[in-house]
Structure 1
Amino acid sequence: MKYKKMRNHSTKGNIVLKEVSIEGNVCGEFVEFVINHIYENTGKDDVRGVYTFPIPDTAVISGIEVNLGGSVIYGKVQSKEEIEKVYENLVFSDNEKLQLEELNKDKLKLSMSTILKGEKVGIKVSYIEELSNFNNQLKLTIPHIVNPVNMFNEKDPQKEKIKYKLSLNLLIETFDKTFISSDSHPIKVEEGEGNIYKVTLKDNNCALNEDMNIWLKEEKTLEASGMIYENYEEDNGIIYLKLLPDVEGNLEDKKGNYIFLIDISYSMEGDKLKEAKTALQLCLRNLSSEDKFNVAAMGDKLTYFSNEGLVKFNNENLILASKWIDALTCENDALLFDGIKYGFDNEQPGEDNVIIIFTDDVVDNEKEILDYVSEIKTNSRIFPFGIDAAVNTYFINKIARLTMGKAEFINSGKRIEDVVLTQFNRIRGLQITDVEIDWGRMKVDKTYPRTIEYLYDGEPFSIFAKVLGDVEGVVTINGMVDNRRVQRKVMLSKVDLAVNADLIEKVWYKKRIESIENRIIYERDEIYDAMRRKIIELSTESGIISNETSFVLLEEIYEPVLGGVMRKFLPVSSSAMKEEKPVMSNFYYTQNLENIDLDQLKWDGISKEDLVRIVATQQLANGDFSYSIEDSEKEKLLYTTEAIIAFTKNNIIIDMYRNLLIKGIMYILDNYINYPEDGEILAFCYYAIKEVNSKLVVKDHQRVRINEVLEKITELMEECKFDINKIEEIILGRIQRDRNENILSEIICNLIN
């Protein structure tokens, strides 16, 4: 993530960055930043400038303020329809001070017509962000800054020598004692009472030449915790619950039947079909040896990987299915209804039946299909993936909801593989159903989400409730896991920081808006219109952007004669009002690594995230990673340990690969004993197991076995006189030596180095 350069449109203009101040308030897993930039034109000419701010993936803009030419310009949230009406009758000159050129989920772009020589410009942007859970800790990222650039002299060497003043002030309030660190910048952490921390820069000479990463790791990972904010003036409050369900259960023996339906109609031609194929390859690798599956391509007719119906998931069928998927090409139509009927026809009574659909179909016969699904009373859960913005979101969500599944959409620049892996963690894992919340004596007015259908094991979940009157006591969460009842009690602690009380109220609005936006896709006509009006009301009231609103720019000018402040509208480009277009990824690969020419592979252009995705497609049915099915058992064990080490040795999120990594670890646990006198193999096994054990939250019964095996491997290494202290040195050396053996070794080496 980075800022675009402030563009300086003049031969003798010289825009320099003088100061950056970053204020932030963190409450639990939410943060509001206010980032203020001060620029100055130190050149001999007046200039024009263009400022771009990158909006983080999980953030929403909550404020814009610009100080330019002696006036204050700020953004005010209004509905897009109202903005269009306001601007219909307004005429602007070509020299307006400021224009909002672009505003979407990714970017804010402002253009300034005139920055006088010697003049300073202050640009303040505030946004609310939900922090990502990154391998059992929260990651807070502040994007790095690129110094202003003269469009007529972008390589001006003086630019890099200019220093700016940088200040940081974060106030952090957490649920439990927390360790705060940064791997990019020297920070100072001051601990106060009640799990409150102040974070500043230790070095005054710091610069944001790279992203600033701040890590928050709680001393204890609490399964359920909560904060309360009391509004004494209005006699109400907000409860914020954070859940990280940890449901014990043995999934290794769980049997499932999987029908994969892939749309191969002409509209899927190109990138969409390639991404769907890649996602399908990863789906298959999330299955276990107890599962059965089949793949059906929905084209002019249905074609099947196996004409005999469901087949066992094993190495032979995995390889055959992978080749069959790679060979799919587009046809004219997509028989979606026939595909869904086929999925229901293959249900196995008493077993877990899952139908997974990849489609971009707008679905002309949606009512016929939905009526059929409602009437059939199926035991199959449908997990559809809607690809591209043109897909019928109402239908995709409705069919998932009718079958107790969950829909996902690939239309906002997301990697489809990442969404698939997250979805499969839900499908494969345990889930808490029939969720009920007992609020005790508290009078709850509204909640987000309004209803809770499932809580998924290991997936963070937040609940917000607005309470009338006193806010105190214990909240009890009840639910069912299969046939057993589970219960979690949450002790509430008060928010001590006034700024965080304000943040929690804003997050409440943000979540209420998101809740309605998530539900509106199920509705039509009058109900749809009413929900849309509610989104606009909440968005304009809170000042938080939604799908239905945007900013208008208002300039405040002090009028000395009248002794008051005049307000004037400034231009807003039509591009700032448009919905963002979907961005498909541009990196694809097939399951067969032998098809990739190692000499032509451009390593510099491939991210580590993409390399990890390639390695993920190489897992076979029994959990081992290998270059070829013909590899020896010893080679497969070694490749598996190397692959797992490659996953864990990078600063990337690996939680989504949980199923693959646990399968790989179980393979190691079952096979290490075949090499009791090979110190090197034992070292690789020990290191891979230990890395996963420290990076992933594993179940108690798995951890017990893992710890037992680690002790046994330690004993074996001692018996063969292996120097345990040199494990990492030996492993990295071996991987480096073998890097040219084949493309998998090369990829693993590039990931680890």
Structure 2
Amino acid sequence: MKRGLLFLFACLIFFSAAYAFADSGRECTNCDHSLAPRLWIPDGDPNTDHLPLKSSSADIVIDGPIARVTITQRYRNEGTRPINARYVFPGSTHAAVQSLTMNIGDRIIKAKIKEKEEAKKIYEVAKQAGKHAALLEQKRPNVFMMNVANIMPGDTVELVLQYSELLIPDDGVYQLVYPTVVGPRYGGDPIRATPHNRWIANPYAKDNTDGSNPAQIKTDIHVRIASPIPISDLRSAQHKIVTHWLNDKSAEISLDPSETHTGNRDFILSFRLQGAKINSGLMTYEWNGEHYFLMMAQPPKRVAPTEVMKREYLFVVDVSGSMYGFPLNTASDLMRELLSSLKPQETFNILFFSGGSRVLSPTPLQATPENLQRAMTMMRSIQGGGGTELLPALKTAFAMPRTEDTARSIVVITDGYVDVERQAYDLIKQNLNSTNLFAFGIGSSVNRYLMESMAHAGQGEPFIITGPNDVPGVGARFRRYVDAPVLSHIKIRGNGVELYDTEPSEIPVMLAERPIVIFGKYRNAQPGATLELTGTRATGEYRATLSLDDSNGQADKNQAELLPVLWARQRLMYLSDLQGDDDAHRDEIIRLGLRYSLLTRYTSFVAVDETISNPNGNTTDVKQPLPLPQGVSELAVAQPVPEPSLYWLLLALAVLFASDRLFRKNRHVPH
């Protein structure tokens, strides 16, 4: 009887444990650890509104080369309990976030910029006191988190944040990118998650069978564009748009009414300005006793190389769970395009990575038709699964055998859904050794911060491939960048004026056909002062001179007044590049954030409504679930890691079986 009860109890524990484990990984096959939680499923509790964010709208004004973006988020509590809402959302990698306003009824509360820890304390005190409060934090330069406290039943809270950025054309094409969703990040062991990366565990909602998504937020986007030069070739890469032309230099753009699910992919708007030349110029502005400038200079024409260098290419291809399906199919098309651009005398290899890695060949291969076909056969045989172990893959790549006396380029192909941007940057910087690195981001909502960071560290270029239509021609463009740099040894100096605090302080070799952009400050300007830019190109010396007297000839005050903020954002990007785990530049980042009212890693915006709306102080925390980016498999958010309770259940089961065996053994021991 005792043995039967013991067995029954053990079975109950076992099946409970098995269910817990199955529930934690039910959406996953062949997956590794991830900080992303299980797919979000509504619990049906009518007392709590699980989707407090009802809509998000973006009003974007492109004035010359500067874009101003105003984002309005509307939260509403349709449940019966007071709630605290948390929402993780993306921004442009170059966004200078400079203000936040909270609107409740007819009350307007302007947020204050504070050191991060101080802002968090102010928010928590207001939250406990039952006051409406909002806290905006930066988790990555392109990932932000909004916390809203004490949203009462029936309340509507409107949060308005503003940022600006400089649009820099590449090969004559200007591109505005407005991200709408943060893709899931693979983060290793969730048990060891730090407070800094706990945001990664935000829930994601599964699409319904009809293609709808319970977490799909109503997203509106309106763009107004004005240019001093006629606009041409205006198009949207991933959304249908309606364009109302005011004249040949200005237009208003909105989403087509047929776009009902807009918030699961980046909004990408591109256009050209008529005429072959990029509009070079100098913009200046005085603020708080300091003079700021922005110099944009036309790049020289690319010249074909006279010498053909011996080259080797190592392709590092992400085949993890988040790449399953559409992204991996697009990556396969991209690999075919890149491999076809190789020359027979060049060598190559491929490293495929997910939770582990495998290589095409132990040593580099000649780019013969047979070897290229072998590479594509292996590429097509991989389905995708497992975690995105980028750092081990990069370490393996840098350690792989290489051909002597050959310039090597590493090409990383991934969706970038990892949280190791900083570590990847450091690793690449430490291992260049006559190797440069190019980053290809695949997908509708790529982690652009990772792509740009890796390419910057590797002295290469980032490429974003949103789908198969972006693939044709990318191989030829890649080869132009590799074979024929536009300009090197770039320097700026002032004639009759002193320049200081220029950004970037060291200008890298120019690979792309984009203008040279330099921010800085100046003082002691004499009449007739000029800024002179010099560099080395294939045909000799390059020189561009712009006069301070002619500055702002084509820029209005609205553009120029953003120069201090844009300069500070550029400076913060430089400090971020130097920033390691030791927080060596923390004080300088805080100083810039507070002085220029900018969101940074160490500064946050906090707004508090002094009216007490929730005197009881009882609230329910709600994490706003996100839709999966378009084309991303649910494998990207699977979590086969057992819950802590499962470990205890399994331990109890082991103890029970051990006790049972000891009991039976003791029964047969003669006394």
Q: Above 0.5 in TM-score?
A: yes
1:388 aligns with 2:409: no
Letter in 1 for 2:430: I
1:535 aligns with 2:589: yes
Task: Give the Cα separation in 1 of the matches to 2:578 and 2:272.
Answer: 33
1:516 aligns with 2:575: yes
| Deviation for aligned residue 1:26 | 2.3
Q: Deviations over 1:723-753 (max 9, x none)?
A: xxxxxxxxxxxxxxxxxxxxxxxxxxxxxxx
Flag the 1:85–1:127 CA change in 2: closer, same or farther, 3 A. Answer: same
1:507 alignment partner, SS class: helix
Q: How does 1:5-404 map to 2 (within 5 A)?
A: 22=59, 24=61, 26-28=63-65, 30-35=66-71, 55-58=90-93, 59-84=95-120, 86=122, 92-93=128-129, 95-100=130-135, 105-106=142-143, 109=146, 111=148, 113-114=150-151, 122-131=158-167, 133=169, 136-140=172-176, 170=224, 172=226, 174=228, 176=229, 178=231, 184-187=241-244, 189=246, 216-223=271-278, 225-231=280-286, 234=289, 236-249=291-304, 254-260=308-314, 278=331, 281=335, 284-285=338-339, 287-295=341-349, 305=360, 310-324=364-378, 340=398, 343=401, 346-348=403-405, 353-356=407-410, 388-390=418-420, 392-393=423-424, 395-400=426-431, 402-403=433-434
Letter in 1 for 2:551: S
Q: Deviations over 1:268-289 (max 9, x none)?
A: 8755899899479358526332
Task: Give the Cα separation in 2 of the matches to 1:489 and 1:285.
Answer: 41
Q: Which residue of 2 aligns with 1:463?
A: 518
Q: How does 1:695-734 map to 2 (within 5 A)?
A: none
Letter in 2 for 1:498: K
Q: Which residue of 1 aligns with 2:199?
A: none
1:230 alignment partner, SS class: strand
Flag the 1:294–1:465 CA change in 2: closer, same or farther, 3 A. Answer: same
Runs of 5+ unmatched residues, structure 1: 1-8, 145-165, 192-196, 361-384, 559-570, 589-753
Do 1:298 and 1:334's aligned partners in 2 also have CA atoms closer than 8 Å?
no
| Deviation for aligned residue 1:440 | 2.5
Do 1:25 and 1:172's aligned partners in 2 also have CA atoms closer than 8 Å?
yes
Task: Give the Cα separation in 1 of the matches to 2:223 and 2:317.
Answer: 51
Letter in 1 for 2:404: E
Q: Which residue of 1 aligns with 2:537?
A: 481
Do 2:98 and 2:598's aligned partners in 1 also have CA atoms closer than 8 Å?
yes
Letter in 2 for 1:513: L
Flag the 1:219–1:142 CA change in 2: closer, same or farther, 3 A. Answer: same
Q: Deviations over 1:131-184 (max 9, x none)?
A: 47587432457799xxxxxxxxxxxxxxxxxxxxx998957465x555596883
| Deviation for aligned residue 1:442 | 2.4
Task: Give the Cα separation in 2 of the matches to 1:303 and 1:407.
Answer: 20
Task: Give the Cα separation in 2 of the matches to 1:513 and 1:439.
Answer: 24
Flag the 1:55–1:199 CA change in 2: closer, same or farther, 3 A. Answer: farther
| Deviation for aligned residue 1:477 | 2.6
Select 2:501's aligned residue among 446, 449, 474. Answer: 446
Aligned residues: 494
Flag the 1:286–1:181 CA change in 2: closer, same or farther, 3 A. Answer: closer
Flag the 1:359–1:440 CA change in 2: closer, same or farther, 3 A. Answer: same
Do 1:386 and 1:393's aligned partners in 2 also have CA atoms closer than 8 Å?
no
TM-score (normalised: structure 2) = 0.56
Do 1:513 and 1:535's aligned partners in 2 also have CA atoms closer than 8 Å?
yes
| Deviation for aligned residue 1:454 | 0.7
Q: Which residue of 1 aligns with 2:669?
A: none
Letter in 1 for 2:507: I
Q: Which residue of 2 aligns with 1:414?
A: 447
Select 1:586's aligned residue among 632, 637, 642. Answer: 632
RCO higher in 1 or 2 (8 Å CA, sep ≥ 6)? 2
Task: Give the Cα separation in 2 of the matches to 1:53 and 1:271.
Answer: 19
Task: Give the Cα separation in 2 of the matches to 1:92 and 1:512.
Answer: 37
Do 2:501 and 2:521's aligned partners in 1 also have CA atoms closer than 8 Å?
yes
Do 1:72 and 1:557's aligned partners in 2 also have CA atoms closer than 8 Å?
no
| Deviation for aligned residue 1:320 | 1.5
Task: Give the Cα separation in 2 of the matches to 1:386 and 1:168.
Answer: 28
Q: What percentage of aligned pairs have identical amino acids?
A: 14
Q: Deviations over 1:29-70 (max 9, x none)?
A: x211335689999x9999989797954444353222122144
Do 1:479 and 1:485's aligned partners in 2 also have CA atoms closer than 8 Å?
yes
Q: Deviations over 1:76-104 (max 9, x none)?
A: 333333334556766615x5434448865
Task: Give the Cα separation in 2 of the matches to 1:209 and 1:298.
Answer: 37
Do 1:31 and 1:129's aligned partners in 2 also have CA atoms closer than 8 Å?
yes
Do 2:302 and 2:484's aligned partners in 1 also have CA atoms closer than 8 Å?
no
| Deviation for aligned residue 1:219 | 2.1
Task: Give the Cα separation in 1 of the matches to 2:247 and 2:350.
Answer: 58
Flag the 1:484–1:583 CA change in 2: closer, same or farther, 3 A. Answer: farther
Letter in 2 for 1:254: V
Cα root mean square deviation, aligned: 5.9
Select 2:551's aligned residue among 493, 496, 505. Answer: 493
2:487 alignment partner, SS class: strand
Flag the 1:297–1:512 CA change in 2: closer, same or farther, 3 A. Answer: closer
| Deviation for aligned residue 1:449 | 0.8
Task: Give the Cα separation in 2 of the matches to 1:419 and 1:21.
Answer: 22
Task: Give the Cα separation in 2 of the matches to 1:426 and 1:574.
Answer: 47
1:451 alignment partner, SS class: coil
| Deviation for aligned residue 1:518 | 1.9
Flag the 1:454–1:320 CA change in 2: closer, same or farther, 3 A. Answer: same
Q: Which residue of 2 aligns with 1:553?
A: 607
Do 2:64 and 2:227's aligned partners in 1 also have CA atoms closer than 8 Å?
yes
Task: Give the Cα separation in 1 of the matches to 2:291 and 2:149.
Answer: 44
Task: Give the Cα separation in 2 of the matches to 1:188 and 1:428.
Answer: 40
